């Protein structure tokens, strides 16, 4: 049977602490479900590497990674002496674009045993997906500064959308909504204030949606949409958003379920022309890095998503979906009654939580 | 003594229901504090007017309003047959720009007696201001569509920032933070993803902040910032943001305090070269319009802000600040133990809540 080759990249900060726990759990799942996974470790795509070499990645990074089935990624961006346009644009944002990972899929779910910051919400009330466009939109370095350094300074920042880019993420979101029980899709917009791109985006949602008459579509402006995440989280099923709005909603959503420390993400290339990348939503978290107290669950859950995605391919070995489910069940069990890290009010270490989850596989 | 001339514009939807309650309370406060206020009613800046005349406002709208001391505004945008680029860009957004109302000031405060959607938060935990840039930034109709209507369609949306525009809103926010006990300013940004305007914005915050060494400045990316509104609302004192980010934060903030139905705003021209505009943050709320059940408190509180702002002018009559405080105290009292509308779990009508507040002045 076919085996997987997975690039393991720790990156910076707590990335180095949570990645080993994710690998530990994946190894346990691979053993139990008889999946053949080879992990290939890369020290680059980290600020350490940049500080040593002057580059975030070696010149042949793309060739080195292109043969991989997926990238399992910790976090990047620390120390702060390395500016974002080097650390992030030189690694994570580059992967998203150059590997055409045009879907950023981010589940938002309230677990039993996790204290919810929203009053009177119980597991089941919050259980949805944010589908974020991941390659274009508001994240650009296009534009410039006129009269720079003077009182007359004017700055232009351009967002770039394409029908190609919008339609494929909308289609993905409609398909996901169709596969779910409630068949409800929220489209994030701001067409009343951002007058060119967002009315056009609304139009693309209508056009793509014409093929999905069974899906209820609810267009919401981003301002009131963030308010509704807090006031009526149970109303959401699948939420599709531009790069920026998806970024916002996929931090706010997990916050409403207790902690960013649980939230996983898949940077997906659904066409499988390049490897997809799986990473926690949280970043390198410099404030707690090096202490061994970071919550590894976002990393571990990201690993489960990776197996699920790999298992959906036509030629995938058996057992991947089962492995995904087993990891998620182990996470549920540990959140219910196992050791927990400080962000969840516990005192357990990163390793203790990783061991507990691996032990249940 | 000097008298005030205030433009009263109801607009659309629940604007027509909440404005009279605001006027009722302002009249009571004017009587009690002996302030001479004349209200001048305008039927335009509404979709009804547009549907009758084909324009949102008469050609001489600017001349008609320029002589006013302030504009007291309900809500605009309904029925949906009038597109946003007509209704909003033809009234509210036009006022903000043409009257150079470059500050959008939006208090966020948890009141006693209001059920908080966040678990375990009490009044005092949430009490901050969002200072939103209100004339430039992400809200533009600049850009365009290439290869329109084809598969190759590409859309450019431009944001425009200026040193003039950024520095004045940052300065206003630093001054506000300086006047408050905690002297803390959060600067919303997204300089790790939006690569031209946002790093520049961060730089302007540093430059303006150099004059305010006593203020603690915390730059936060908008994604994690929305998460912290939910997880750590007590950490905020003054939050300054671009047009779009301020729009988002000033809906999310009030949601965290229970209902958008309380949130007031001042669209301020601090130089007083044109009238400032005071309006509830909520919109025309078509779903409840015409039923007499809208919460009038955001409108009433906006009226209090108007008196406070007018009273801060050098030549203002006495009593304005006292009138502001009396209205806010009456709102507090009614929220604690008076009638409440449906959004707060009560059954009172708009008029009943207005009467209760006016009766306490
Ligand atoms: C109606 C809309 C254009 C407006 C805005 O986005 O500014 C509103 O949401 C607000 O916050 O005043
Ligand atoms: C680090 C940053 C550039 C990134 C983003 O904004 O996409 C992160 O917030 C995320 O959500 O993956």
As a three-state string, the secondary structure of A258-274 is CCHHHCEEEEECCCCCC
Which residue in A155, A163, A196 is closest to B157 by CB distance?
Answer: A196
Query: Which residues of chain A fall below pLDDT 70?
Result: 1
Residue of B nearest to A119 (CA): B119
Cβ of A162 below 6 Å from ligand 1: no
Question: CB-based contacts of A292: which residues, under 8 Å, 6+ apart?
Answer: A17, A349, A350, A351
pTM (two decimals) = 0.97
Burial class of residue B163 (count of CB atoms within 10 Å of its CB; 0-12, 13-18, 19+):
buried
Domain A127-256 has CATH 2.60.120.10: no
A193–B247 CB contact, under 8 Å: yes
Cβ of B203 below 6 Å from ligand 2: no
Residues of B in contact with A226 (CB under 8 A): 226, 248, 251-252, 255
For residue B201, report the distance from its CA to the centre of ligand 2, in Å. 18
Provide the b/e sequence for A243-253 (b: ≥16 CB within 10 Å). bbbbbbbbbbb
CA distances from A192 to A209, B75, B84, B350 (A): 21, 14, 5, 27
Q: Which CATH number fits domain A1-110+263-361: 3.40.718.10, 3.40.30.10, 3.30.1540.10, 3.20.20.80?
A: 3.40.718.10
Q: Are A65 and A272 in contact (CB under 8 A)?
A: no
| A325's tokens | 């489910």
Confidence (pLDDT) at B2: 78
Does residue B144 belong to the interface with chain A, where contact is any CB pair within 8 Å? yes
Cβ of B359 below 6 Å from ligand 2: no
Atom of ligand 2 nearest to the CA of A265: 12
| A220's tokens | 């919401």
Confidence (pLDDT) at B80: 86
For residue B92, report the distance from its CA to the centre of ligand 1, in Å. 8
Confidence (pLDDT) at B230: 98
User: Nearest to residue A87, comparing CAs of A55, A43, A133, A63?
Assistant: A55
Query: Which residues of chain B fall below pLDDT 50?
Result: none
Helices (H), B183-319: 197-209, 222-231, 243-256, 297-311
Give dist(CA B24, CA B26) in Å, integer.
6
Confidence (pLDDT) at A2: 78
Question: CB-based contacts of B119: which residues, under 8 Å, 6+ apart?
Answer: A115, A116, A117, A118, A119, A120
* Ramachandran category for residue B278: left, alpha or beta (phi over 0 → left; psi -120 to 50 → alpha): beta
Architecture in CATH for domain B1-101+270-361:
3-Layer(aba) Sandwich (3.40)
Give dist(CA B223, CA A9) in Å, integer.
24
A140–B195 CB contact, under 8 Å: yes
The protein residue whose alpha carbon is closest to atom 11 in ligand 2 is: A247
Give dist(CA B325, CA B33) in Å, integer.
11
> Which residue spans within B95-207 are E strands per DSSP?
103-109, 127-133, 143-146, 154-162, 184-189
Cβ of B193 below 6 Å from ligand 2: yes
> Which residue spans within chain A are E strands per DSSP?
4-11, 37-42, 70-75, 103-109, 127-133, 143-146, 154-162, 184-189, 216-221, 238-241, 264-268, 276-280
Helix (H, G, I), strand (E, B) or coil at B45: coil
Confidence (pLDDT) at B27: 98
Cβ of A227 below 6 Å from ligand 1: no
Distance of CA B251 to the CA centre of its chain: 10
For residue A190, report the distance from its CA to the centre of ligand 1, in Å. 9
Query: Between the CA atoms of B47, B52, B54 and B58, what dihedral angle is there, to the nearest 10 degrees?
Result: -80
For residue B136, report the distance from its CA to the centre of ligand 1, in Å. 13
Distance of CA A247 to the CA centre of its chain: 9
Which residue in A88, A231, A259 is closest to B255 by CB distance?
Answer: A231
| B209's tokens | 């902040």
B223–A119 CB contact, under 8 Å: no
Residue of B nearest to A250 (CA): B223
* Whether the bond into B79 is cis, omega within 30 of 0: yes
Residues 275-314, chain B: which have Cβ within 8 Å of A?
Answer: none
Residue among A76, A92, A134, A138 whose CB has most ligand 2 atoms within 8 A, to mutate: A92
Strand partners, B75: B11
Confidence (pLDDT) at A1: 57
List the domain boundaries for chain A: 1-110+263-361, 127-256
- The dihedral built from the CA positions of residue A235, A239, A245 and A248, taken in this order, carries a sign that is positive
Cβ of A195 below 6 Å from ligand 1: no
């Amino acid at each position: 049977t076919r085996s997987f080759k997975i690039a393991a990249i720790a990156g910076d900060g707590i990335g180095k602490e949570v990645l080993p726990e994710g690998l530990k759990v994946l190894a346990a799942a691979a053993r139990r479900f008889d999946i053949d996974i080879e992990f290939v470790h890369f020290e680059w795509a980290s600020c350490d590497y940049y500080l040593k070499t002057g580059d975030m990645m070696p010149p042949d990074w793309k060739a080195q990674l292109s043969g991989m089935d997926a990238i399992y990624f910790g976090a990047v961006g620390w120390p702060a002496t390395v500016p974002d346009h080097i650390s992030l644009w030189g690694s994570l944002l580059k992967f998203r674009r150059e590997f055409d990972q045009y879907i950023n899929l981010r589940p938002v779910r309230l677990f039993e045993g996790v204290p919810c910051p929203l009053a009177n919400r119980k597991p089941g009330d919050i259980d949805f997906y944010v589908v974020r466009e991941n390659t274009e939109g508001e994240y650009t370095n296009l534009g410039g500064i006129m009269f720079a350094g003077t009182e007359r300074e004017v700055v232009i920042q351009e967002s770039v959308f394409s029908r190609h880019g919008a339609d494929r993420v909308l289609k993905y979101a409609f398909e996901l909504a169709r596969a779910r029980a409630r068949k409800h899709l929220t489209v994030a917009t701001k067409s009343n204030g951002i007058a060119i791109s967002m009315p056009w985006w609304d139009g693309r949602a209508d056009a793509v949606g014409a093929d999905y008459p069974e899906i209820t579509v609810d267009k919401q402006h981003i301002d009131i949409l963030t308010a509704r995440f807090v006031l009526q989280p149970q109303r959401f099923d699948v939420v599709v958003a531009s790069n920026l709005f998806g970024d916002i909603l996929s931090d706010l959503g997990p916050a409403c379920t207790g902690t960013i420390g649980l939230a996983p993400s898949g940077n997906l290339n659904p066409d499988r022309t390049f490897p997809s990348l799986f990473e926690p939503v949280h970043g390198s978290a410099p404030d707690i890095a090096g202490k061994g107290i970071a919550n590894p669950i976002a990393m571990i859950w990201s690993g489960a998503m990776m197996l699920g995605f790999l298992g959906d391919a036509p030629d995938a070995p058996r057992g991947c979906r089962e492995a995904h489910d087993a990891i998620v069940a182990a996470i549920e069990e540990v959140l219910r009654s196992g050791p927990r890290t400080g962000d969840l009010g516990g005192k357990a270490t990163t390793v203790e939580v990783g061991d507990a989850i691996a032990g249940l596989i």
